[in-house]
């Protein structure tokens, strides 16, 4: 992989896109670090109510490449990811975004090996659109940058905010737009694991 992308200097690295899905809660508690306040020695500690995460949540799927966020696709009605949704809604929308933003003939996807990503129908669609999967060894979460980079940083920015409905989940696109991917060095890590 390192040879193929010339240690990240090759322009072909711009053809790699990564994706993952995650639940975003309507209300998620602030972290302890986010809720800290300065106190004088003679002041009593502030009282903080303990609350749980809200039950209302939205599954979102995000794709991004070396230049940043590409597309975020929310799943309707609290559905889980399925190969049908992945191949009829998600991939076509992503391919349209890639076509709008680049003129690359061939693309590479780097995501986990969930069953919806490697189903026969999804594979046929990817092949028809000249999309290859980058090799990935099992149980290598650090090769899916959304898991260790994108979602934790976005969820941290959203903690403590309350959304009145699922429609307000669209505001998560703002932090995503400014997130930059760390794909430049991923080929080195892939070589170590493959």
The per-residue pLDDT for range 163-179, each reduced to its tens digit, is 665 556 555 555 555 55
Q: What is the largest CA-CA distance in the chain?
A: 69
Domains of the chain are: 6-33+49-193 (3.30.420.10)
Give the pLDDT confidence of 42-67 residue by residue, as tens digits.
888 776 666 555 556 777 777 777 77
Residue 192: the pLDDT is 60
Residue 141: the pLDDT is 55
Give the pLDDT confidence of 75-118 residue by residue, as tens digits.
776 567 777 777 777 778 877 877 777 766 677 776 666 667 67
If one counts every other C-beta atom within 10 angstroms of the C-beta of residue 4, the result is 13
**pLDDT confidence of 142, banded at 50, 70, 90?**
low
If one counts every other C-beta atom within 10 angstroms of the C-beta of residue 33, the result is 7
In SS3 terms, the chain reads as: CCCCCHHHCCHHHHHEEEEEEEEEECECCCCCCCCCCCCCCCCCCCCCCCCCCCCCEEEEEEEEECCEEEEEEECHHHCCCCHHHHHHHHHHHHHHHHHHHCCCCCEEEECCCCHHHHCHHHHHHHHHCCEEECCCCCCCHHHCHHHHHHHHHHHHHHCCCECCCHHHHHHHHHHHHCCCCCHHHHHHHHHHHC
pLDDT average, residue stretch 12-19 = 72
**Which of 87, 98, 82, 67 minimizes the C-alpha distance to 21?**
82
Residue 90: the pLDDT is 78
Give pTM, 2 decimals: 0.59
Look at residue 181 and tell me whether its pLDDT is greater than 50: no
pLDDT more than 70, % of the chain: 44
């Amino acid at each position: 992989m390192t040879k193929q992308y010339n240690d990240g200097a090759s322009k072909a690295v711009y053809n790699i896109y990564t994706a993952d899905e995650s639940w975003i809660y309507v209300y998620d508690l602030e972290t302890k670090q986010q809720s800290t306040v300065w106190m004088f020695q003679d002041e009593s500690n502030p009282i903080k109510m303990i609350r749980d995460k809200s039950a209302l949540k939205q599954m979102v799927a995000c794709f991004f490449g070396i230049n940043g966020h590409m597309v975020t696709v929310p799943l309707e009605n609290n559905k889980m990811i399925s190969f049908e949704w992945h191949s009829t809604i998600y991939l076509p929308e992503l391919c349209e975004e890639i076509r709008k933003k680049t003129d690359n003939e061939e693309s590479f996807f780097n995501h986990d090996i969930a069953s919806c990503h490697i189903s026969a129908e999804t594979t046929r669609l990817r092949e028809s659109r000249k999309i290859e999967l980058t090799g990935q060894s099992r149980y290598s979460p650090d090769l899916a940058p959304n898991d260790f980079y994108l979602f934790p940083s976005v969820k941290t920015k959203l903690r403590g905010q309350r959304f009145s409905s699922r429609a307000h989940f669209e505001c998560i696109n703002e932090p995503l737009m400014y997130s930059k991917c760390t794909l430049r060095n991923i080929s080195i890590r892939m070589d170590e694991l493959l």
